[in-house]
Amino acid sequence: MRHKYSNVNFPAIMFKEGINYRSYEYFGVHKGREKYSFRIWQPDAEKVFLVLYYKNGPLSFPMNKITDDGIWELFIHTTEHLDAKYICDDPEGIQYNYNVITQGESHYINDPFAVCFSSDSDKKSVVRIKSKYLFDDSLWALTRFHSFLEKDSYQLPLNICKVDHIFDNYGQISFKSIAKTLIPYVKKAGYTHVLLPPIFDFDGTYNTEIRPSSLYSINSSLGDIDDLKNLVDKLHNVGVGVILDFTPFLFSARGQDPSPFGKACLSDNNALAYDVGKKEVISYLISSAFYWFDKFHIDGLHVTQSGGLMDLNFGKEKENWTANRYGGFENLEGLFFLNQLNEAIKKEYSDRLIIADDNRIFGKTVIDKFNKDLGFSFRIKTDWCEDFHNYIFKDTKNLFRRLPMENYILPLSLKAAIENVSSIFDFDGLDLQEKLGFIRAVKVLQMTLPYKKLGLLRGDTDEIEPLACSGSVTDAEWSDRIRRYQCFVEHINKVYSDFDSFYDNDLSSDGMKFINTGKIGLIAFTRRSRKGKEPIIVINFLKESIEGLVLPSKITSGFYKTVL
């Protein structure tokens, strides 16, 4: 870690300056020749002890402070050696933590760079060095790199399958079982990427705020490091990219409090918020993103809980709000971090995606501006389904006036769409066939509008969940409708990927043209590709069928065939 002709500790200096983007190669646990190194950053500590929990009992070793700003280091030898100060059995797989003495008080702290935690209630860090898995995805990596060389990400198809609900019960799921069920489905259904939920060891549930124990660790209930690598590798070998949820806002206070990386979180007493005003924290967070790209070949990150990084008063009561030095309520330190995160990733990994979480804490205009200025590849836009009754059943032209040429991803929020049209017609009063027809129409609209796509795992079941309470069909009939809807989803996904009109010209003003049908609730438009191909899309949201519809000849001249 030091130059052979100098005593300068470059990794430590870069970490302090906020530019060590691979600090995981220096901190944490590393194995050398017949020895292990342990390093941790504790600037306020008076003493730090490494504690190894062997079966015969814990062993405690005093660490050495090697920098004035609080980096502590220790070498443990596994064999007799002239330089060996401490000798013990190989600690691979052994639980450990650090006893940090601050102001005379003792605190047992987990390693913030730990890649594995114990599965028991104590949740101690675990020494995990060995990984036998070798990736076989060089062809995928080469194809991805050349795709981004020839086109930017806005001109490539992006149809993401979100798979969060399969993680609801860790006791019955693992990376190995996911690989068996997920890979055949996403390949057949024609998705380009999968979005995995947080795979970190964390406190909380998927329905609440996620509080990772470490941004480098994998939940042991899902499997180990090699199991995740195998899942990513197999997805790459069937042509599917992998995107991870990434949470650089909150982390678990369990085993980490007090932490130099965090500060109090007003919205959650069981969590700490990363103090992105410290340069060392910026090094830590950006390094964690690089870690997943380097070690697991991940194709993109979905940055969640960004509201806390963007809102200066996140979690505060209104009477306690404060303004930044410019009089606004934006978290300037958080915005600077997000900008630095995106710049670092784009410089080092030009073929990876960084997706912003949907967040409207400051209003659409401001967030859209920040989204663009901060350098995110895309932002998930969940609110597009909330205006259905306005731009479909009142004034169809509004649909196209409300579509700015921005780098959005459209998820299918069917529940929001149904609630929004309740003032126009009684959805519950429709028969099952009419309900399915409405759902198909919403799905077609999502897949044919500009912007990239985000669907749910097995859209056949998740997207028609609002119909699950219907008792008007037998189980066999319901299973048949699910199968038919699944075929429909596969078909519309194939249409999206086969016709470049639906993805390569999203941000151009001539990429979409409105066609006036003369009927509110009957939508028609064209999508124009960069090569000039221009399919026509007609979607009927009315209850009655439309026959003999005549579209303007200046738009529809030429020969067409039905594809859906």
Interval 417-421 mean pLDDT: 68
CB burial string 22-43: b at 16+ within 10 A, e below: bbbebbbbbeeeebbbbbbbbe
Interval 313-328 mean pLDDT: 83
Does the pLDDT of residue 372 top 60, yes or no?
no
Nearest one of 420, 474, 457 to 442, comparing CA atoms: 420
How far is Cα of residue 546 from the mean position of the Cα atoms in its chain? Answer: 42
Residue 168's pLDDT is 45
Residues in Cβ contact with 43 at an 8 Å cutoff, skipping those fewer than 6 apart: 69, 70, 260
Q: Which residue has the tokens 């026509």?
A: 536
Does the pLDDT of residue 82 top 70, yes or no?
no
d(CA 353, CA 194): 12
Does the pLDDT of residue 174 top 90, yes or no?
no
407 in Cβ contact with 378 (< 8 Å): yes
Q: Read off the pLDDT band of 243 (50, 70, 90).
A: very high
63 in Cβ contact with 48 (< 8 Å): yes
Interval 19-33 mean pLDDT: 93
Nearest one of 432, 418, 376, 109 to 252, comparing CA atoms: 109
Determine how many CB atoms are found less than 10 A away from the CB of residue 242.
Answer: 20
230 in Cβ contact with 133 (< 8 Å): yes
Mean per-residue pLDDT of the chain: 81
How far is Cα of residue 351 from the mean position of the Cα atoms in its chain? Answer: 16
Interval 307-328 mean pLDDT: 83
Q: Read off the pLDDT band of 518 (50, 70, 90).
A: confident
Enter the tokens of residue 378. Answer: 């895309």
Interval 22-29 mean pLDDT: 95
Of 83-92, 186-195, 342-351, 353-362, the least confident:
353-362
Chain segment 197-221, per-residue pLDDT in tens: 778 876 655 445 667 878 898 888 7
d(CA 143, CA 234): 16
Interval 151-174 mean pLDDT: 72
Cα→Cα distances 256→107, 212, 273, 449, 504, Å: 9, 11, 11, 46, 46
Identify the top-confidence range among 22-26, 314-318, 334-338, 431-435. Answer: 22-26
Residue 498's pLDDT is 92
DSSP string across 223-254: --HHHHHHHHHHHHHTT-EEEEEE--SEEE-T
Determine how many CB atoms are found less than 10 A away from the CB of residue 279.
Answer: 16
Identify the top-confidence range among 278-292, 373-387, 512-526. Answer: 278-292
| DSSP H or E stretch at residue 75 | strand 71-77
Query: 179-186 — which CB contacts under 8 Å span 24+ positions?
Result: 179/230, 179/231, 179/234, 182/235, 182/457, 183/234, 183/235, 183/238, 183/240, 185/457, 185/458, 186/161, 186/235, 186/238, 186/240
Start-to-end C-alpha separation, the chain: 60
Chain segment 375-411, per-residue pLDDT in tens: 888 888 877 776 666 666 666 566 665 566 678 888 8
Residue 515's pLDDT is 84
